[in-house]
Amino acid sequence: MYVLSRYISNPDFDPSLVKNASNACEGLCKWVRALDVYDRVIKVVAPKKLKLAAAEAELATQMTKLNAKRKQLKDVSRPTVCLCFSCVFSAFYSLV
């Protein structure tokens, strides 16, 4: 990208100025400038994508653990609720 920086920093390497010389060169100038912008952006975004992928993998692991714990809680809670209702009904019928 060092080669591009020599041209990008040149004030004459502007698409509106280059257009006076040639329409084809204007397109090339825009393309080279777009490559420079893309290079700068990708250097910022790439590490963030890697961190995102790592965070999503960790999230998937933790969600698997959470779902397993939820299932355990559901399995434990269901009999307890049934026992409570049976106690209430038996106490009610003993009073009647």
Q: Is the pLDDT of residue 89 over 70?
A: no
pLDDT score at 55: 98
85 or 7: which carries more pLDDT confidence? 7
If one counts every other C-beta atom within 10 angstroms of the C-beta of residue 15, the result is 15
- pLDDT interval class at 31 (50, 70, 90): very high
Residue ranges of domains in the chain:
2-95
Q: Is the pLDDT of residue 71 over 60?
A: yes
Collect all residues with Cβ–Cβ distance below 8 Å to 33 and sequence separation of at least 6: 8, 13, 15
Q: Is the pLDDT of residue 87 over 80?
A: no
* pTM as predicted: 0.58
**What are the CA-CA distances from residue 49 to residues 54, 56, 59 (Å)?**
9, 10, 15
